[in-house]
């Protein structure tokens, strides 16, 4: 505080929440992002390898998935 007891920063304009909380992606957007990144990383690898990477990324994201979904998405990833 300065000598006149005025705060250096206006408390009403201070950001105290993460910016990421302001935008939440839909499940479809999250899936598309995982597919795009997996394609960039391992799109030229075997389907087995692609499915393994997809499984890991879905587990890390906390999204639910089935083996059937992973197989379908692996086909989309494969270059």
pLDDT digits (tens, 9 = 90+) for 16-28: 766 655 568 899 9
Residues contacting 42, CB < 8 A, separation 6+: 49, 50, 53, 77
26: left (phi over 0), alpha (psi -120 to 50) or beta: beta
Query: What distance in Å separates the CA atoms of residue 32 and residue 73, rounded to the nearest whole number?
Result: 9
Residue range 34-62, pLDDT digits in tens: 999 999 999 999 999 999 999 999 999 99
């Amino acid at each position: 505080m300065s000598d006149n007891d005025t705060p250096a920063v206006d408390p009403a304009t201070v950001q105290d929440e993460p910016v990421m909380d302001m935008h939440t992606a839909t499940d479809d957007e999250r899936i598309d992002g995982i597919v795009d990144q997996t394609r960039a990383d391992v799109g030229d690898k075997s389907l087995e390898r692609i499915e393994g990477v997809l499984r890991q990324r879905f587990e890390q994201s906390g999204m639910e998935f089935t083996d059937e979904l992973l197989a379908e998405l692996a086909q989309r990833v494969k270059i």
